Amino acid sequence: MKSDLNRSGEILSTTQDYAASILEAVSDRPVSAEPHPPEPVRLQEVGHGFEVALADFQTRWAPGFSGSAGPRYLGFVTGGATLASIAGDWLTSVFDQNPTSALDSTAPYLERETIGWLREMFGISDAHTGCFVTGATMSNMVGLAIGREWLGEQMGVSVSEDGIAALGAVNVLSGAAHSSVYKALSILGFGRQAMKRIALLPAREAVDVFALEEQLRALKGAPAIVVANAGTVNTVDFDDLPATVELRTRYKFWLHVDAAFGGFAALTEEHAGLVNLLDQADSICIDCHKWLNVPYDSAIQFTRRRDLQVRVFQNYATYLGVPQGVPDFVHLTPENSRRLRALACWFSLAAYGKEGQRDIVQRNVDAARRLGEHIKSDARLSLLDPVRMNVVCFTLANEPSEERVQALVRELRDRGEVFLTPTTLHGTWALRAAFSNWRTELGEADRIFAAIIAAL
């Protein structure tokens, strides 16, 4: 280890050459393959040094890694990583800052600057403060934890001091909430059953606001949490935010908006109207490792009630001090020590600006539309919903059974040209092609369509 110190340049440049070769080939390597992990080996009593470790990684592990950073990996909602963000991510490890407290470093201030830039990009006012968390799941969890404390405030109890039992049964209302919201309900002690699923509009994934109002009225003044969805994973549908916000004039609820990737609608003139009232939410979830195209793990949590957030997440210790004024990040999220998660975002935003982010969104939307047109015009396939933004949801025209859809997903995976993930939409088995990578050019849509047809 000590001798490595004298060769840090050599070690990093070897890694750099290797990394560059990977990045250059990422568009050509198979996007996916069935995993065949190598046999595990025992921990070495004595290590063999960096070069041997690298060679071992290159032969045993790297070949089985997916091409998820590349342009035709369309499973889940998977962003790549811009070059500036990779550089920022690397420097995060080099400086190895812990932005927990502002005792000794400007790192937390860089994080606040980045949060300010993101707020500006999404049209969120400074009534909101933000913090970085590992992903949208954690952002939803933190937002709902603040909502939990708000419920206590409404009922004159403190959940953070007295526990969840002080609340009694909790009502969480949502139309097509993401699976991670249910996970959050479990973690937070509400229980998954706390979710009251509200009817959706016909053939849509957006909530029926009249049905939502009916449910709120039935609560007879009891406070609730409403999770509004801004960008669903199957069809990128958006709840009617203005109508939902309007309900707050008559009903008492915490409004959490899951805008994990739909928040990026704010970047294009065509879609911005879908999220123009995002700022009105009490808490907002936006993912950075998806459409912002920074490396995992990165998301933002915004809220108007930092005071309640501090009540939930405060970490008093004499050496950290009591949170006063602008609270340190240690008092705002589940983690205490952590990496300077903002730096990769900071680099990408500084390098490419708002225009660069808009360009990614626009190109992805254009490519999704083109694939949608191809699918619509082919009798063997059926487009299940108009392409609203960056996800194409389609299925087989004949007998779209679970078995046949899963077989097509596997066939595509094994061919390694394009990776899609399966889903069900209104009870029909389907495939999703989710565009969110900065490398994906319009022409890629033709190649993707050809790959789908070839795999049928």
Ligand X SMILES: *Cc1c(COP(=O)(O)O)cnc(C)c1O
**Binding status of residue 261 toward ligand X by CB under 6 A:** yes
In one-letter notation, the amino acid at residue 343 is L
Q: Could you give the angle at the alpha carbon of 225 between the alpha carbons of 223 and 229, nearest 5°?
A: 150
Single out the segment in contact with ligand X by CB under 6 A; choices: 91-99, 130-138, 158-166, 312-320.
Answer: 130-138
**Binding status of residue 77 toward ligand X by CB under 6 A:** yes
Alpha-carbon span 95 to 87, nearest angstrom: 12
CB of 77 to ligand X, least distance (A): 5
Distance of CA 404 to the CA centre of its chain: 29
**Binding status of residue 437 toward ligand X by CB under 6 A:** no
Task: At 201, list the tokens.
Answer: 């509009």
CB of 79 to ligand X, least distance (A): 10
**Binding status of residue 31 toward ligand X by CB under 6 A:** no
What's the per-residue H, E or C state across 128-149? Answer: CEEEEECCHHHHHHHHHHHHHH
**Binding status of residue 328 toward ligand X by CB under 6 A:** no
* Residue with Cβ nearer ligand X (212 or 286): 286
CB of 380 to ligand X, least distance (A): 29
**Cβ neighbours around 249 below 10 Å, total:** 6
Are 88 and 346 spatial neighbours (Cβ–Cβ below 8 Å)?
A: yes
Site string for ligand X, 220-259 (x = CB under 6 A): -----------x-x------------------------x-
* 3-class secondary structure, 59: helix
**Binding status of residue 143 toward ligand X by CB under 6 A:** no
**What separation in angstroms does the CA of 35 have from each of 61, 240, 296, 420?**
10, 41, 20, 16
**Binding status of residue 180 toward ligand X by CB under 6 A:** yes
Site string for ligand X, 370-409 (x = CB under 6 A): ----------------------------------------
CB of 336 to ligand X, least distance (A): 20
**What separation in angstroms does the CA of 73 have from each of 78, 80, 101, 234, 454?**
7, 9, 38, 16, 17
* Residue with Cβ nearer ligand X (226 or 396): 226
**Binding status of residue 178 toward ligand X by CB under 6 A:** yes
* Residue with Cβ nearer ligand X (137 or 437): 137
* 3-class secondary structure, 381: strand
**Binding status of residue 137 toward ligand X by CB under 6 A:** yes
CB of 278 to ligand X, least distance (A): 14
Assign residue 236 a region: left if phi > 0, alpha if psi is -120 to 50, beta otherwise?
left
Q: Per-residue b/e over 369-380, b at no fewer than 16 CB within 10 Å?
A: bbbbebbeebee
Are 448 and 371 spatial neighbours (Cβ–Cβ below 8 Å)?
A: yes
* Residue with Cβ nearer ligand X (118 or 260): 260
Are 244 and 188 spatial neighbours (Cβ–Cβ below 8 Å)?
A: no
* Residue with Cβ nearer ligand X (260 or 431): 260
**Binding status of residue 341 toward ligand X by CB under 6 A:** no
* Residue with Cβ nearer ligand X (261 or 347): 261
Are 265 and 239 spatial neighbours (Cβ–Cβ below 8 Å)?
A: no
Alpha-carbon span 131 to 123, nearest angstrom: 16
Alpha-carbon span 124 to 119, nearest angstrom: 5
* Residue with Cβ nearer ligand X (287 or 417): 287
**Binding status of residue 299 toward ligand X by CB under 6 A:** yes
| The binder of ligand X chosen from 86, 115, 124, 136 (CB under 6 A) | 136
Single out the segment in contact with ligand X by CB under 6 A; choices: 131-139, 208-216, 404-412, 415-423.
Answer: 131-139
**Binding status of residue 288 toward ligand X by CB under 6 A:** no
Contact residues: ligand X, CB under 6 A:
77, 135-137, 140, 178, 180, 231, 233, 258, 260-261, 287, 299
